[in-house]
C-alpha cells in the first residue's frame, strides 16, 4: 500500500459560543476554521483527521502541513507508522506539532481500516467505553460552577473538573461551593492552568486536599520544575502535569527523573499524535503512573482519543470540555455520554468518524494540495 495523495480542505466554523479557559485559550468572536485532512492510498483506503479547533484556527498551520509534511508522506507505506512519525517529528520546528498530530491520526485511521477493526480493537483494547468527566470553562461566579457541577452529577457523569477564575482565594471559594453542591462522594478535579506561583499553589493545594479532590492539575508554570518538585513533596493530592510544555516524547523525561508529577498527560495536537501518546502512556505505566488524556481540541481528535483511552490500562477518565458547542463540529456521530456517564467507541473500522461532508462543502474556504 502506498500514499498517493494528501490534501487539506479548510472550512469555516461559525456561531461558536464564547469560551475562556486561560489567557492563551479564548474565543470571543464566535468564529474559527478547521481543516479536513485526507490521506489517500492506492488501495482506496483513505485516512482522515481534523486540524485546528475553536481557539486554534486550522489556517494557522495549514500551509505548513502541505509544504513540509506532505512530501514526507507521498509514496510511502502508510502502515509504516513508526518510521513516518519519526520523519514527521523531524519537521516539527518548521511545521509544528499540530500538523504532525493530524497526519499521525490519519495514518492510524488507515491502519485500523486496513485491519477491518475499530481503532480501539486495533490498539488492543479490552473495553469499548470509559467514564467521562465534564470540564468547565471559566464561569461567572461560584454558584455558576456549583450549579453546573450539580447538573452533570444528576445526569450521571462520573466527575466534574473546575477551570477556576485564577485568583487563589476565589478559586478556593469556588471549590468549596462546588463540593457543597455535589456532596463529599462525588469526584472533583481542579485545573488551575499554570496560574499560580509556588506559595499560592501550596495554599490552594492544601485547601482542595482537605476537600477530597481527586487530582490537582497544572497549578504552576510548566517550566517551573523546581517548584513542582517542592509542591509534590508537600501535598498528598496527586499532581497532574505535562499537558504542556508543547513538545514530543522527550519533554516528559525531566518530569520523571525529577519526580515532579504524579501523572502524565497529553493529547494529539500538543504532543504530535497518538504515536507519541502511546509511547508515553506505556512509559507512565512502567513507573506505575496514570496517563490521563487531555481534550483533543476538535471532534475527530476526541473520537480518536476515546479509542486510545479505552486501550490503556492506566487511564481513568475521558475529558469532555465545555461548552459542547465550542468543541463539537464537523461530524454526524460526535461522542455522546450515556445516562451512566460512559463514552462509547464507534464499532466501524478505523476511527469511525462519520464526517459531515455536506457541511464541509457548504463551509469550504479552500482546498490545499
**Residue burial 106-115, b: 16+ Cβ < 10 Å; e: rest:** bbbbbbbbbe
Q: What pLDDT was estimated at residue 246? A: 75
Residue 250 to residues 187, 242, 276, 277, Cα–Cα distance (Å): 32, 11, 10, 12
pLDDT recorded at residue 238: 98
pLDDT in tens, 236-265: 999 999 998 878 899 999 999 999 999 999
CA–CA separation, 279 and 104 (whole Å): 14
Q: In this predicted structure, what is the pLDDT of residue 235?
A: 98
pLDDT tens for 258-302 read: 999 999 999 999 999 999 999 999 999 999 999 999 999 999 999
Q: What is the pLDDT of residue 29?
A: 85
Q: Going by C-beta distance under 8 Å and a sequence separation of 6 or more, which residues neighbour residue 111?
A: 78, 79, 81, 122
Report the mean per-residue pLDDT for the chain. Answer: 97
Per-residue pLDDT of 180-231, as tens digits, reads 999 999 999 999 999 999 999 999 999 999 999 999 999 999 999 999 999 9
Per-residue pLDDT tens digits for 115-128 = 999 999 999 999 99
Query: Residue 5: which residues within 8 A CB-CB, separation 6 or more?
Result: 38, 39, 40, 74, 369
Q: What is the DSSP letter of 79?
A: T
106, 37 contact by CB (below 8 A) = yes
Q: What is the pLDDT of residue 87?
A: 98
CA–CA–CA angle 261, 266, 267 (5° rounding): 165
Give the β-pairing of 159-162 and 215-217. Answer: unpaired
For residue range 210-220, list pLDDT tens digits in order. 999 999 999 99
Quote the CA–CA distance of 313 and 242 in Å, as a whole number: 19
pLDDT in tens, 18-53: 999 988 888 888 999 999 999 999 999 999 999 999
Given the C-alpha cell 469511525, which residue does it identify? 352
pTM beyond 0.85: the answer is yes
What pLDDT sits at residue 247? Answer: 80
Residue 331: the pLDDT is 98
CA gap 13, 53 in Å, rounded: 9
The angle, 0 to 180 degrees and rounded to 10, between the axes of the packed helices 274-286 and 299-310 is 30
* pLDDT at residue 13 is higher than 90: yes
The whole-number pLDDT of residue 93 equals: 94
- Write down the pLDDT at residue 269: 96
Tell me what percent of the residues of the chain surpass a pLDDT of 70.
100
Choice among 24-38, 135-149, 154-168, 354-368 with the minimum mean pLDDT: 24-38
3-state secondary structure of 247: coil
Contacts of 241 by beta carbon, 8 Å cutoff, 6+ apart:
217, 218, 220, 222, 228, 255, 260, 261, 263, 265
Q: Taking residues 68-89, report their average pLDDT.
A: 98
Amino acid at each position: 500500500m502506498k500514499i498517493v495523495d494528501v490534501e487539506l480542505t479548510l472550512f469555516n466554523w461559525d456561531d461558536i459560543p464564547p469560551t475562556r479557559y486561560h489567557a492563551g485559550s479564548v474565543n470571543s468572536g464566535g468564529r474559527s476554521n478547521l481543516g479536513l485532512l485526507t490521506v489517500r492510498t492506492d488501495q482506496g483506503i483513505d485516512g482522515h483527521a481534523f486540524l485546528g479547533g475553536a481557539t486554534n484556527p486550522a489556517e494557522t498551520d495549514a500551509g505548513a502541513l502541505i509544504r513540509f509534511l506532505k512530501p514526507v508522506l507521498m509514496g510511502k507505506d502508510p502502515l509504516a507508522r513508526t518510521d513516518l512519525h519519526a520523519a514527521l517529528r523531524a519537521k516539527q520546528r518548521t511545521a509544528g506539532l499540530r500538523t504532525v498530530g493530524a497526519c499521525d491520526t490519519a495514518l492510524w485511521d488507515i491502519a485500523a481500516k486496513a485491519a477491518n477493526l475499530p481503532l480501539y480493537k486495533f490498539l488492543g483494547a479490552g473495553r469499548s467505553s470509559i467514564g467521562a468527566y465534564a470540564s468547565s470553562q471559566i464561569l461567572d461566579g461560584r454558584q455558576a460552577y456549583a450549579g453546573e457541577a450539580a447538573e452533570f452529577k444528576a445526569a450521571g457523569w462520573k466527575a466534574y473538573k473546575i477551570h477556576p477564575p485564577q485568583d487563589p482565594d476565589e478559586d478556593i471559594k469556588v471549590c468549596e461551593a462546588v463540593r457543597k453542591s455535589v456532596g463529599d462522594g462525588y469526584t472533583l478535579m481542579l485545573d488551575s492552568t499554570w496560574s499560580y506561583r509556588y506559595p499560592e499553589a501550596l495554599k490552594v493545594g492544601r485547601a482542595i486536599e482537605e476537600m477530597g479532590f481527586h487530582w490537582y492539575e497544572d497549578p504552576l508554570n510548566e517550566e517551573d520544575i523546581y517548584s513542582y518538585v517542592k509542591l509534590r513533596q508537600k501535598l498528598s493530592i496527586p499532581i497532574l502535569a505535562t499537558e504542556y510544555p508543547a513538545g514530543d516524547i522527550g519533554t516528559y523525561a525531566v518530569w520523571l527523573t525529577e519526580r515532579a508529577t504524579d501523572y502524565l498527560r497529553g493529547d494529539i495536537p500538543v504532543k504530535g499524535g497518538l504515536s507519541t501518546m502511546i509511547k508515553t502512556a506505556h512509559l507512565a505505566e512502567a513507573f506505575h503512573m496514570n496517563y490521563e488524556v487531555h481534550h483533543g481540541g476538535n471532534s475527530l481528535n476526541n473520537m480518536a482519543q476515546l479509542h486510545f483511552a479505552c486501550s490503556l490500562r492506566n487511564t481513568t477518565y475521558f475529558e469532555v470540555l465545555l461548552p459542547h458547542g465550542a468543541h463539537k463540529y464537523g461530524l454526524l456521530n460526535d461522542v455522546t455520554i450515556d445516562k451512566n456517564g460512559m463514552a462509547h467507541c464507534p464499532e466501524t473500522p478505523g476511527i469511525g468518524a462519520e464526517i459531515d461532508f455536506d457541511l464541509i462543502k457548504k463551509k469550504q474556504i479552500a482546498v490545499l494540495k
